Structure 1
Amino acid sequence: MQERHSGMEASGPPPLTGLYAAAVTPRTDDGTIDMLAFDRVLDLLLAAGVAGVCLGGATAEYPHASREERMRLIAHTARRIGDRGLLVGIGAAAPTDVVPLGHAALDAGARAVLLSMPLFFRYAQDDLEAFCLDTAAAIGGPVLLYDLPAFTTPLATDTILRLLSGAPHVIGIKDSSGQADRLGPIAEARGDQPWRLMVGDDAVLIEAIAAGWDGCISGTSGAFPELMLAVLRAAQAHDHAALHRLLPLLRELFAQQGVFPTPWGIRMGLEARGIPVGPFPLPASPTRVAQRATYLAWAPDWMERVAAALGHALVGTR
């Protein structure tokens, strides 16, 4: 089987550190991908200085996209982001789509693919382990496990450690479980092994960095990368004064986003910044219409306070 190394040396896994922003998938009113809006999203993320961009995760609402749409976005993003890192989630409603998406991502130059577990049905840990082993072998390049228990069968910590320790091509994990109590044990189990540990739940970013994790693949960064970058850098530098200034703003954002399904709040954050990314995937109920109005009324003052805390204007803000 031909192995794919995505332009990286075969001697070790690719470098993955810092903040990768998860990109939403803008849609037009007729449901097609809005590539002009997508380019504006990419421009926002790159201008903020993120280490890279992540496609195809929960923030991208990957079950709503066809294989062809996702392959188009992979190729397009790889061309536009230059030397920034590209990560691609390859989870799919149809398991037969997973390996072709993985090949497309690595052939386009992705540093790694994110392998989320099968969705809809619940599976045993043995099923998940077999799925990961078989899929990683078929992909033949760097794979990050993607634990996304809110939407897929959860990976147990023991299963994660077995796969990280012994599965060919599995180089690390994006952990979106929000389980702060397992961050330390996974980091300790790593020891001097070259696992790449990326947290995927923004709410436990501080704890992950303190435990020794390498960075974050952040949904919130899909709309507000400047704030998440500042929080990450403050955590890495143990800058408690900066964290004291920034964390209340981040928690306020979480409270506003938290009333919506993932990732509607992130999409509205982009709208508040002057980058509309299309309608919600479901019809908006009267409750959602009112919540959206509340969010958009709240956002301008909050963004001004974020800009003051950062000491610079937010890129792309109205």
Structure 2
Amino acid sequence: MTQELFSGVFPAMVTPFADDESIDHEQLRADAQRLEAAGVDGLVPVGSTGESATLTHDEHVEVVETVVDAVEDVPVIAGTGSNNTREALELSERAADAGADALLLISPYYNKPEQRGLVEHFRTIADAIDLPQIVYNVPSRTGRNIEPDTAVELARHENIAGFKAASGDLNQVSEIVERTREEDFAVLSGDDGLTLPMLSVGATGGISVVANVEPERTCAMVGAALSGDFGRARELHHELGPLMRALFTETNPIPVKEAMHIRGHCQPTLRSPLTRLSEEYRVELANLLDDLDEQRAASPAEVEG
């Protein structure tokens, strides 16, 4: 059940802002529908890419409500993590009430709990809320790695259904996949550049930044890998490689918002302390997107897989 629910491509959505930095709900709705029409397998609003750190709790819930209302056929996985267990629990409860199908919970950041504290944190939320929950490991943002032993222990909880891996450590990902094969538990890539290698060792998909900009290619790549066509998946991985790297020249979501702006999907507005992508990178990004558009125009069927 979980393997099917969390199989494929799940864009980590941006939160579009108007010039005055208010949330542009009309654009958010349009973006959710664009991604669903492109064939993604679910949507992940209000994560790190969605600038959740600068949203109020009410805005957070409003974004979830808009995305839930916008789509027809794909699950909505709401980012509801915090470094405060009570706050994460409250956000999770409100997202569940707003209609989220599942939750994405980043590990507590800044206060750097011990592994036993991580287990207690995630179990507290999983005990209270009967929705599938994905534990999100991104040590570069949180300052603390979720160790494989901890991930395996958490996988035993019936509501902890997956693990988003963004540590950059393929050995760790492989170990977690290996040790949870008997559980109803999905491992998802949280690093676009490593999605294909992770799929090769048993991950079931990815929560993706690049899928905001190139959803069809990303879905084709992941779909090819999941069906065993790693030759085709590798071709698409290399087609997307320059864009994957360009989307992390500065802190996410700065570059992806610029890419979305170039493609006409949102304003490049971010909330402080994030700033617009540096001019030196904008030209390179625009050129990469032009190249991908030309490839699509030349061979649309191949791009869509």
Alignment of 1:80-119 (within 5 A): 80-92=70-82, 95-119=85-109
1:191-244: CA deviations, max 9, x gaps?
Answer: 332112222211121122222222221121122111111110121233244234
What is the total number of aligned residue pairs between the two structures?
A: 303
Once residues 161 and 51 of structure 1 are traced to their aligned partners in structure 2, the CA distance between those partners, rounded to angstroms, is 25
CA contact (8 A) 2:193 2:245 kept: no
Change (3 A) 1:309 1:188: farther
The 3-state SS of whatever aligns with 1:103 is: helix
SS at the partner of 2:29? helix
Corresponding position: 1:28 with 2:28: no
Q: CA deviation at 1:26?
A: 0.8
Q: Tell me what 2:154 maps to.
A: 163
Could you tell me whether the CA contact under 8 Å between 2:130 and 2:159 is conserved in 1? Answer: yes
Does the aligned pair in 1 maintain the 2:254–2:277 contact within 8 Å?
no
User: Tell me, which stretches of 5 or more residues in structure 2 are unaligned?
Assistant: none
The 1-side partners of 2:277 and 2:7 are apart by 40
Query: 1:296 & 1:228 partners in 2: Cα distance?
Result: 19
CA contact 1:230–1:310 (8 Å) conserved in 2 = no
Q: Using the alignment, how far apart are the partners of 1:287 and 1:144 within structure 2?
A: 30
| Change in 2 beyond 3 A, CA 1:16/1:297 | closer
Q: Which residue identity is paired with 2:196?
A: I
Q: 1:246 to 1:308 in 2, by over 3 A?
A: farther
User: Given the two structures, how large is their TM-score scaled by the length of structure 2?
Assistant: 0.89
Q: 1:282 to 1:199 in 2, by over 3 A?
A: same
Q: Deviations over 1:133-178 (max 9, x none)?
A: 222223343221111212113211111111112x352222122222
Q: 1:131 aligns with which of 110, 117, 121?
A: 121
> Counterpart of 1:245?
235
Q: Which runs of 5+ in 1 are unaligned?
A: 1-10
- The runs of 4+ residues in structure 1 deviating greater than 4 Å are 11-14, 282-287
Partner AA of 2:155 in structure 1: L
CA distance, structure 1, for counterparts of residue 117 and residue 275 of structure 2: 38
TM-score under structure 1 normalisation? 0.86
| Distance in structure 1 (CA, Å) of the matches to 2:276 and 2:94 | 41
The answer for the alignment partner of 1:5 in structure 2 is none
Corresponding residue for residue 142 of structure 1:
132
Identity of matched residues, %: 25
Question: Using a 3 Å threshold, how does the CA distance of structure 1 residues 82 and 242 change in structure 2: closer, same or farther?
Answer: same
Partner SS, residue 59 of structure 1: coil
Q: How many Å apart are 1:38 and its aligned residue?
A: 1.1
Of the three residues 150, 170, 189, the one matched with 1:199 is 189
Bigger shift: 106-115 or 48-57?
106-115
